[in-house]
């Protein structure tokens, strides 16, 4: 059993050790990184369960790259998929954004950004071309990035999303018909949500290698 003096010494050692541990500075000026990012447009759990088979063609989550200049970060996110079997097709998206580090702590950054997403989808079913569909989205991600080390960080975001697809296409008969947005499954020209992705949207990680 430790006596009182030994317990005080042990407690003092633990406290000093904790305070002496290095704090990872969330200074990313001049750093570049790659990782994974799930945008706010990604389908949330509620929509997946309620939507059944009527799910979007494109779930914009994929490979991300980012580069910081001072408090301003540049971002690119890309993803694509191929479909085989009775339905042949391809789909993908490209997201371009910028973020501003509004608040910085020793190991956490809070950023506010603007991100644009362009998505496309094309499907052929039973040798019938169902046509190409295009969708656009603007997001305002409020993003918290937590640094486990100076090189590795995870992030989560929330914010409003505005979708506006190319709402019409002309099929081979020359008839203009409404076509669903590959990002939302809807045929409406405008769709505003906060946030469509719910808690499954806006998650990601980055490994900073420079």
- pLDDT tens per residue across span 36-61: 999 988 865 445 545 455 677 788 99
- Are 176 and 185 within 8 A, CB to CB? no
pLDDT digits (tens, 9 = 90+) for 148-170: 988 999 999 988 888 886 655 54
Let me know if residue 201 belongs to a domain. Answer: yes
The enclosing domain of 117 has a CATH number of 2.40.160.20
Let me know if residue 127 belongs to a domain. Answer: yes
Scored b (16 or more CB within 10 A) or e, 177-189 reads eebbbbbbebeee
Let me know if residue 21 belongs to a domain. Answer: no
pTM over 0.85: no
Q: Print the domain residue range for 139.
A: 27-208
Interatomic CA distance for residues 148 and 24, integer angstroms? 7
Let me know if residue 83 belongs to a domain. Answer: yes
How does DSSP assign 116-150, residue by residue?
Answer: EEEEEEEEEETTEEEEEEEEEEEE--EEEEEESSS
Q: What is the dihedral of CA 46, 51, 52, 54, to 10 degrees?
A: -150
Let me know if residue 14 belongs to a domain. Answer: no
Q: 10 Å Cβ neighbour count for 116?
A: 13
| pLDDT at position 64 | 97
Number of domains in the chain: 1
| pLDDT at position 32 | 95
Let me know if residue 93 belongs to a domain. Answer: yes
Let me know if residue 6 belongs to a domain. Answer: no
pLDDT digits (tens, 9 = 90+) for 91-125: 899 999 999 999 888 889 999 999 999 998 887 65
- Are 138 and 115 within 8 A, CB to CB? yes
Interatomic CA distance for residues 54 and 161, integer angstroms? 20
Distances (CA, A) of 41 to 48, 66, 94, 146: 13, 19, 12, 22
């Amino acid at each position: 059993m430790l006596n009182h003096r030994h317990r005080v010494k042990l407690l003092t050692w633990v406290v000093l050790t904790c305070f002496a541990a290095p704090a990872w500075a969330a200074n990313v000026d001049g750093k570049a990184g790659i990782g994974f990012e799930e945008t706010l447009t990604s389908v949330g759990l509620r929509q997946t369960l309620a939507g059944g088979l009527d799910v979007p063609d494109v779930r914009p989550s994929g490979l991300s790259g980012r580069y910081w200049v001072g408090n301003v970060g540049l971002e690119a996110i890309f993803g694509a998929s191929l479909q085989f079997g009775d339905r042949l097709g391809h789909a993908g998206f490209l997201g371009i954004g910028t973020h501003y580090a509004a608040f910085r702590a020793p190991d956490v950054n809070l950023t506010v950004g603007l991100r644009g997403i362009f998505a496309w989808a094309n499907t052929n079913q039973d040798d019938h071309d169902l046509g190409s569909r295009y969708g656009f989205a603007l997001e305002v991600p409020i993003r918290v990035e937590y640094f486990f080390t100076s090189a590795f960080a995870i992030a989560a975001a929330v914010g409003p999303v505005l979708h506006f697809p190319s709402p019409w296409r002309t099929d081979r008969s020359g008839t203009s018909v409404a076509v669903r947005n590959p990002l939302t499954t809807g045929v409406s020209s405008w769709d505003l949500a906060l946030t469509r992705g719910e808690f499954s949207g806006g998650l990601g990680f980055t490994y900073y290698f420079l």
